[in-house]
Amino acid sequence: MAAFFSPPTSAAVKIIAPPRSDGSPALIQSEQLQCVNLKGWDVSSTILRGSGTTEVYEHDPFNPYDISNPNGERESPQQMVQGMQNLHLNEYDTSGNSVLNSIVNNGGVPSIGGMSVRVNGYYSPPLATFARQPLNYHLYTPQTYHSNATKSDNPSASFFMSDDLRQDLTQQSELTRAVPTMTMLNLPEELQGYHTLVPLDSTVAVAGKERRPNFGNWYSSIYKATSATDGFTYALRRIENFRLLHEAAFDVVEQWSKIRHPNIVTMHEAFTSRAFGDNCAIIHYSSRSGASLFHIALIISYDYHPNSMTLFDAHLKLSLQPQRPSNSQPSSSFISESVLWSYISQIGSAIRTAHGAGLAIRLIDSTKILITGKNRVRLGCCGTVDILTYDTRQDTHLLQQEDLLQFGRLLLALGCNNLMAGNNLTKSLENMTRNYSADLKSVIIYLLGKPAPHKSIDHLFDMIGQRLILEVDALEFHTDRLEGELSRELENGRIVRLLCKLGFINERPEFDCDPRWSETGDRYVIKLFRDYVFHQVDESGNPVMNLSHVLTCINKLDAGSEERIMLVSRDEQSCLVDGGTLDNKVQQQWSLYVM
Ligand SMILES: Nc1ncnc2c1ncn2[C@@H]1O[C@H](COP(=O)(O)OP(=O)(O)OP(=O)(O)O)[C@@H](O)[C@H]1O
C-alpha cells in the first residue's frame, strides 16, 4: 500500500470566512462557527481570520496529526520552525540540512524547488513517524516531449498520452484479449496447455474459403492462444499434416528460443498435436511402433505481437490488385528511402545475430516479416523451416548465403513495389536507380551477388555504417517521445490515486447516520470539494461536464495550491472558503481510516 500512496503533505489547515458584501473582512462569531459545525474539525491548526481574528484550538485525541496538548495549547510559530529542524522534506537528501537551508534562503519561509510551502506543527518532534516527507512527489512532472496536441485545441489533451499512441495500445490490448467468435468453430479447446485459440490468418477464419499451400509445400495457419502455465498470449503456428520422423528435429527449438533480438519474434516451444484432427491421414513412423496412421500438426509457439501486419500486407498487397480506374487514388506508392534503410538495418541486425549463433533464418519473405509498430519489423517464423526440413540437412554456410540472397530479393521487391521484381533484375535495378540513392542500389547488388567466402552480413554493416547512425538517432528520438508520454501517465497515476482516496473517504455508508461523520470536520470540506469538482451546474441547471476543470482541481489539490475556493453546502446555507489545505485533509482522513 505504502508504495502506491503518498504520505501527508505539509500545508497548514486554514479556514477563511468569505468577506462581507461591502468587501470588509468577515467577523466570525461563535454562532457562525456553529452554523458550519466545527465540531469534529481538526482545528488544532485552524486559523480563523476576520476582524477580531479568533484562533481556536481543540484537541482531538483520535487525530494523530493533532499536536496541541489536551488543554488546547499549541506551539508558537518559533517552536514550529524549531520542530522543523528534525525534518527532511526531500527524503532523498541525506545532508540533513535541506529544510533548514531552504528556510534560511527564503527569508524564513520554507521553500521546496522554489515553491513556498507552509509549515505547521505536523512535523514537530512528537510525530517522528511522519518525519520523512518526499514532497518532490507532489510537484508536477513537467512535460518533456512537445507533442502536436495544443492546450488551446483541447486543454485536457496535454494531461494524457497522445491519441495515436493510446489508439495503438488500446487496439493491442483489445486484440490480446479477443475471444473466438461463433464462426471460428472446430478449434480445439485445449492444445498442450494453450487455450482460447483465435485464428490470426483470415484464410482459416473464413470457413469454406479455398486454401493453397502457404508455407513452402505445407498448409500453415496461425492462432493467438493463451498459455495456462503463465497466462501470457502466444502466437501458435500450425503446420498441417506434419510428419515428425526424428525427435531430434526439435533440438533447434532450444537454440532459437535462446535468441532474444528486438527484430526476431522469439520462438518458445514446438510440439505435435492431433487436437486439430487434420483431415489428411498421414503415415507416422516410429522406430518402436513402426508405421502408424496419424492426423498430426506441428505447432510452434512464438511471441504474440498484437495488431501486427506483414510487410506484404503493408507494402505489396495493393500492387497485386487489378488496376483501378484512372480517376481513383493510386493503388500503391513507393516506400521512402529512410524507411527502407530502417528495414535494412533492422532485418540485417536480426540476420547478423542468427548467423552469429550458427543459425540461418531460411525464410526472409515479406509474408513472414511482421511490422509490430511504426517501421518496427521482426522476422516472424525463425526456426520453423529448420524443423520442417530436418531430414534434408544442409550446410549452414550455404544456408546463410541463401539468407543474404533472400534479403536482397526482399529489398528489391519492396523498392520496386513489385513482388516479382527479382524476375527481371535489370529492369528492377533501373527502377531502383530512378527512385533511390546509389548506396541503396549497391547494397541490393551486393546481397544479390553470387555466394562467396567473403560475402557476409558483417560486410553489409561495413557498407551501411553511416546509415546506422541515422537509425540510432531516430530510435533515440522515439525513446524521448515515449518517455515524454510516460511522464504524462505518471501524472495521471497520481490523479487516480488522489481520486481513490477521495472515493474512500466520501460518504461511507457505515457512518451514514452519524452526524459527526460526513457533515463535520475535514470530511465535510472534502465532501463539498467533491461537489465543487464534479457536481457543478450551469446557469440552466445542467451538469457541468468539464474534464479540464476536474483535472485542474485535482492537480491543484495534490500540489497544495494556495488558491482559495468557495465551497457551498448543498442547502446553500453555509459556505466555506478553503485556502489550499484540502490536500492535508484528504491525506489525514485517508490515513485515519485506511492505513
Ligand atoms: N507472432 C505473431 N504475433 C501476432 N500476429 C502474427 C504473428 N505471426 C503472424 N501474425 C499475423 O497473422 C497473420 C497471418 O500470418 P501468416 O504468417 O499466415 O501470413 P499470411 O499473411 O497469411 O501469409 P500467407 O499468405 O503465406 O498465409 C498475419 O497478418 C500476421 O500479422
Place of cell 495493393: 318
Residue 121 is given by DSSP the state G
Region 391-396: mean pLDDT is 86
Q: Is the pLDDT of residue 454 over 60?
A: yes
Atom of ligand 1 nearest to the CA of 309: 31
pLDDT tens across 512-529, in order?
A: 666 666 666 777 888 888
What three-state secondary structure class fits 391? coil
pLDDT of residue 430 exceeding 90, the answer is yes
Residue 59 annotated as lining a ligand binding site: no
Cβ(219) – ligand 1 distance below 6 Å: no
Higher pLDDT, 393 or 37: 393
Mean pLDDT score, 36-52 = 31
- Residue 68 — pLDDT band, cuts 50, 70, 90? low
Mean pLDDT of the 466-488 span: 90
200 ligand 1 Cβ < 6 A: yes
Is the Cβ atom of 379 under 6 angstroms away from ligand 1? Answer: no
CA atoms within 13 A on the CB side of 460: 28
Residue 463 pLDDT greater than 80, yes or no? yes
Q: How far is the CA of 129 from the centre of ligand 1 (A)?
A: 57
445 C-alpha to ligand 1 centroid (Å) = 29
Q: Please say if the pLDDT value at position 91 is more than 60.
A: no
Which ligand 1 atom is nearest residue 304's CA? 3
CB of 265 within 6 A of ligand 1: the answer is yes
Q: Which atom of ligand 1 has the smallest separation from the CA of 221?
A: 18
Residue 234: predicted pLDDT: 97
> Within its chain, how far is the Cα of 10 from the centroid?
32
Establish whether residue 314 lines the binding site of ligand 1, counting it when its CB lies within 6 angstroms of any ligand atom: no
Which ligand 1 atom minimizes the distance to the CA of 310? 31
Q: How confident is the model over 177-202, as a mean pLDDT?
A: 85
Residue 351 is predicted with a pLDDT of 98
Ligand 1 centroid vs 223 CA: distance in angstroms? Answer: 9
Q: How far is the CA of 97 from the centre of ligand 1 (A)?
A: 61
Q: Which residues partner with 425 through β-bridges?
A: none
Q: pLDDT tens digits for 306-326?
A: 999 999 999 998 877 765 554
> What is the rounded average pLDDT for all residues in the chain?
73
Distance CA 389, CA 393 (A): 7
Q: What is the pLDDT of residue 97?
A: 38
pLDDT over threshold 50, residue 93: no
Residue 571 has a pLDDT of 78
Residue 78 clears pLDDT 80, i.e. is over it: no
Closest ligand 1 atom to the C-alpha of 308? 31
443 in Cβ contact with 464 (< 8 Å): yes
Question: What residues does each domain of the chain span?
Answer: 178-304
CA neighbor of 449 nearest in space, from 409, 421, 489: 409
- Report if pTM > 0.80: no
- Whole-number Å distance, alpha carbon 370 to ligand 1 midpoint, is 8
Ligand 1 centroid, distance to 417 Cα (angstroms): 20
List the end-to-end C-alpha distance of the chain, in Å, as a whole number. Answer: 8
Residue 333 confidence (pLDDT) = 67
Its ipTM equals 0.96
Q: Check whether 307 is labelled as a binding-site residue.
A: yes
Instruction: State the residue for C-alpha cell 512537445.
Output: 146
Least confident of 191-195, 244-248, 473-477: 244-248
Domain 178-304 class?
A: mainly alpha
Separation of alpha carbons 518 and 188, rounded Å = 56
**pLDDT-derived band of residue 589, with 50, 70 and 90 as boundaries?**
low
Assess whether the C-beta atom of 266 lies below 6 angstroms from ligand 1. Answer: no
Q: What pLDDT does residue 119 have?
A: 31
Mind listing the pLDDT tens digit for each residue in 146-184?
Answer: 544 444 455 455 667 788 888 888 889 989 998 887 666
Ligand 1 mutation pick, 206, 212, 302, 308, max ligand atoms within 8 A of CB: 308
Whether residue 283 is predicted with pLDDT greater than 90 in this model: the reply is no
Residues in the chain: 595
Q: What percent of the chain shows pLDDT beyond 90? A: 35
Q: Is the CB of 205 under 6 A from ligand 1?
A: no
How much is the average pLDDT of 231-253? 91
pLDDT value, residue 428 = 94
Q: What is the pLDDT of residue 132?
A: 45
Residue 581, annotated as binding a ligand: no
- What's the burial of 26, exposed, middle or buried (CB within 10 Å: 0-12/13-18/19+)? middle
Cβ 307 vs Cβ 172: under 8 Å: yes
